[in-house]
Structure 1
Amino acid sequence: MGVFRGRDGKRLVWTILGLIIAALIGLALFRYVGTLLFAIFVYYATRPLYRWLDRYIDHPNVTTTITILFVIIPMVAIIGYAGIVALRELDQFLAASNLEAYRARFQPYLRLAHQGNIEQLLESFRSGTGSSITEVLRQGLPSAVQQVASIAGFVFSVLARLFLMLTILFYLLRDDHRLRQWFYDSIDHEQRIVDYANDVDDDLETVFVGNLAVILVAAIVAVATYYGLNFLASGGPVVGTPVLLSLLIGIGTLIPAVGMKIVYVPYGLLLLGLAVTTPTPLWHPIAFLILTFVVVDTVPDFFARSLLSARSGIHMGLVLLGYFLGTLAFGWYGLFLGPIVVVLATHFADKIFPDLMDDLFAN
């Protein structure tokens, strides 16, 4: 009858309440685990920049905002630039193929959109070709409304996840020291746990900052290589969009096993197709693939990841295995979860597991 009256009873009640709260929070975060893990990745990748800015800017909110803009502005610029290039490539593809009739239909709208004349664009929808499009919309209005609702739901979902990621990132950057201090106070500064948490924190920063470094090094080397190749090529550039392709190649380094090959191999095959079907010289795709593999893919990846392995206390093979198995087991967010699990497991095996075995066999 006194199970809830003594100290053990109160502890049991509080423990049950804590487990319920933890389960509810875990359930909410599990639905957006990819967003959470991406925020953690960006946090560790940008934390050195935040701490450097914090030395000169005596305002945490401003420092955090500048750090986040450092991530968001390039992301938006890449997406916008990729959209513009995609429109140009579509227009050139339609012009160079047997789809000239489709290009003629889109050309008035593309031209007006490029010029930014919205009034003429709307007027063209009200008359001429636009009237036929309006008639089609009237006939298929129910399905069109359903498609618009579906697109609107997708856009809202993406924006909601982006807002959640930015919110988590903002408070991790600004208040991580408070979270760390709360945790240490809660465990009464147990030395073994503190050492374990500090080692994990340091190595996660090293791994994720190293990933960012690999992206930047690969993109810079690719830009220099492709501009040099275009300069030496006769009869037109080999790479039409060297900056965009280099940025995509840098981002492609995050993909396990395949890496940047997922970007430059299809592009090389596209150049090969153009060389077969057009007067483009055959040496263009061959030179592109060889230089990309040797200079852009092999050299930066080898040196950058070797430097990362030297700075980190974790074997580079384990980190790469974490990326690969994490992605296979958990999907795209395993790209970030895999290295976290590897770091946690490595330091547990190094510092905690031997002590647990000593205590077990000592008893």
Structure 2
Amino acid sequence: MAQKDMKGYWKLFGVLVFALLVYMTYPFLEGIVYAIFLYYLAKPIKKQLDKKIESKEITSFIAIITLLSLIVIPTMVSTIYIADTVSKSFPFLIELIENILPQEYSEHINELVSSIKILDVNYFLELVRSRDIQSIVLEPLKRLTEVFLWYLLIMFIAFVVGFYFLMDGESLMGWAVDNAPQRDEKIIDEYIGNMDCALNRIFVGVFLTMVITLIFALISLTVLNMVAPAELKISAALILGLSVLCGLFNLLPGVGIKIVWVPTAILFTLQAYFMGTLMASLWYLLIFALVMAVIVDFVPDQILRPYICGAGIHTGLVLLSFVFGTVVFGAKGLFLGPIILVGFIEYMKTVVPQLSDE
């Protein structure tokens, strides 16, 4: 009797420890989900490295660093180049601010810019301390800094967890099977194996969709630039930068690459307006918006992604998992939605028939 009571206490203790583990890790669920994505993308690289290097720690580190370099470095270069292009248009942006903001705010912005130009430090600090400037500039900047630091932490967690998944992921799956009750060992092994294959197909498909979006954007922007009015032509480097950002922001839920092409279209429109060629350039602006919205945005995201990421699952369900996941969970839902879908479908295919036989 006492032994049965102790088993009950141990089960209760296990539930308590598991609940504490979930409570501790839940705030960082986003980083863990991104780590799973990195794991499946870096796994093919690691397999090739394993043939030449024996140390799994070294191959895991090289694989994940290589993957991050392929994503982060082009993004940083593109962002820096675009920021440099925007900075060269600083006078145009100041004129735009003067025309858009109310008169009182425009005056404050002009005073702030003037104080920076003449390096009047005391006057600049006095302006910064004013409530108007703080509400317009400093408070949004503070919030932006907080968001940046939080996502820096999330990316660090994704890197660390992804590294350990690469190094010990297969051992972890084997441990789960070995520690299962003997009568359930076969079911759990099959369930984990099927989930692994399906998630590999889906997440590699997500990455391929990014690459396809980048290629579509590069071709579309190049062709559009050939027929663009002289005042709206852009450099080849800027085309490449915008294309890379389109590929990257294809990952963002809901907004997607609209965060790239919509501001670009607005800037083109404002540039044509201030140069007095808006009506003459209207045809190009409409074609630009149509091509970017349909060919670069809609086709890869809504049509190609479900087919590429199908993994033997109905394409409509895959598409809905991306949509529902992002609506419910935010950015991490782009990856968490398919994980939940695959977990449910494999449970129905693998586990339920076994339960029915019993």
- Normalising by the residue count of structure 2, what TM-score does the alignment of the two structures yield? 0.79
Percent identical residues: 27
Alignment of 1:149-298 (within 5 A): 156-187=149-180, 188=182, 190-236=185-231, 238-239=233-234, 241-256=238-253, 259-278=256-275, 279=277, 281-297=281-297
Query: Partners in 2 of 1:98 and 1:159 — Cα distance?
Result: 32
Amino acid across the alignment from 1:322: S
| Cα distance, 1:224 vs structure 2 | 2.5
| Cα distance, 1:167 vs structure 2 | 1.2
Amino acid across the alignment from 2:230: G
Conserved? CA contact 1:230–1:236, under 8 Å: no
Conserved? CA contact 1:231–1:237, under 8 Å: no
Task: From the superposition, tell whether residues 337 and 304 of structure 1 become closer, same or farther in structure 2 (CA, over 3 Å).
Answer: closer
Look up the SS of the partner of 1:32 in the other structure: helix
Partner of 1:329: 328
Structure 2 segments unaligned to the other structure (5+ residues): 99-106
Query: Partners in 2 of 1:10 and 1:345 — Cα distance?
Result: 34
Amino acid across the alignment from 2:218: V
User: Please, which moves more after superposition, 64-73 or 261-270?
Assistant: 261-270
Query: Partners in 1 of 2:293 and 2:144 — Cα distance?
Result: 39
Structure 1 segments unaligned to the other structure (5+ residues): 111-123
Conserved? CA contact 1:210–1:308, under 8 Å: yes
Look up the SS of the partner of 1:190 in the other structure: helix
Which of 64, 68, 72 pairs up with 2:68? Answer: 72
Partner of 2:307: 306
Conserved? CA contact 1:218–1:300, under 8 Å: yes
Query: Partners in 2 of 1:257 and 1:153 — Cα distance?
Result: 23
Task: From the superposition, tell whether residues 242 and 138 of structure 1 become closer, same or farther in structure 2 (CA, over 3 Å).
Answer: closer
Query: Partners in 2 of 1:66 and 1:225 — Cα distance?
Result: 34
Conserved? CA contact 1:36–1:165, under 8 Å: yes
Conserved? CA contact 1:220–1:246, under 8 Å: yes
Conserved? CA contact 1:322–1:338, under 8 Å: yes
Amino acid across the alignment from 1:129: D
Q: CA RMSD in A?
A: 3.5
Query: Partners in 2 of 1:274 and 1:287 — Cα distance?
Result: 16
Query: Partners in 2 of 1:354 and 1:29 — Cα distance?
Result: 33
Task: From the superposition, tell whether residues 191 and 239 of structure 1 become closer, same or farther in structure 2 (CA, over 3 Å).
Answer: farther
Partner of 2:338: 339
Aligned residue pair count: 334
Partner of 2:318: 319
| Cα distance, 1:62 vs structure 2 | 2.4
- Normalising by the residue count of structure 1, what TM-score does the alignment of the two structures yield? 0.78
